[in-house]
Amino acid sequence: MTRAPRDSKNGFVAAYGDLVMEHFQNPRNAGELPDPDGEASKSNPVCGDRMRVMIRVEDGRIAEVRWQTRGCPPAIATSSFASEMVTGWTLDQVDALTREAIAEGIGGLPRDKVHCSVLAADVLRAAVADFRTKARTPGDQGSP
Ligand code: FES
């Protein structure tokens, strides 16, 4: 077995795949979504890193996603990757989203970093749940 090289500048083991590094270095959909239809934020129970997700829903599908993540490189990369992955999905598809699907989709994560994909899956599902709650409360959401 070969040892993964260390990034001397950032101090983390450079064992990530190309897609992870690409999304980490060029994150998509980062930022704030004004007046979101649903939003949620959570901390990773393993490390305390934090993610906030805001979604716009049109015709029962995710039309837009924005996220803000304070975390490690895989947390940033999976936030970016998942935001692209679910755009266009139905809400039921997001309900079924798993961290494994994100980790596999992005080309795999080192075993000790698989927990980093938990945030993106959990917070996206929670943002959909928030949308559904607001949609059931007339007046909070505009016309259903
Ligand atoms: S170490 Fe916290 S999400 Fe990766």
For the chain, domains (ranges, CATH) are: 18-135 (3.90.1010.10)
Q: 125-136 pLDDT, tens per residue?
A: 999 999 999 988
Q: 69-109 pLDDT, tens per residue?
A: 999 999 999 999 999 999 999 999 999 999 999 999 999 99
Strands, sheet with 38-43, edge to edge from the N-terminal-most edge strand: 38-43, 50-58, 61-70
- Is 71 a pocket residue for ligand 1 (Cβ < 6 Å)? yes
Q: Distance between CA 71 and CA 141 in Å, rounded?
A: 31
Q: What phi, psi does 2 have (nearest 5°)?
A: -90, 150
- What local confidence, expressed as pLDDT, does residue 14 receive? 55
Closest CA to 73 of 21, 38, 131: 21
- What local confidence, expressed as pLDDT, does residue 4 receive? 41
Q: Which member of 116, 118, 121, 128 is catalytic?
A: 116
Q: Is 116 a catalytic residue?
A: yes
Instruction: State the Cα torsion 61-66-71-72 to the nearest 10°.
Output: 70
Residue 41 pairs with which residues in a beta bridge? 52
Mapped onto helix, strand or coil, the DSSP state of residue 56 is strand
Q: Is 72 a catalytic residue?
A: no
Pocket of ligand 1, candidates 20, 50, 69, 72: which has the most ligand atoms within 8 Å of its Cβ, to mutate? Answer: 72
Tokens coding 92: 């039921």
- Is 72 a pocket residue for ligand 1 (Cβ < 6 Å)? yes
- What local confidence, expressed as pLDDT, does residue 6 receive? 45
| Predicted structure pTM score | 0.85
Q: 11-67 pLDDT, tens per residue?
A: 444 578 999 999 999 999 999 999 999 999 999 888 889 999 999 999 999 999 999
- What local confidence, expressed as pLDDT, does residue 138 receive? 61
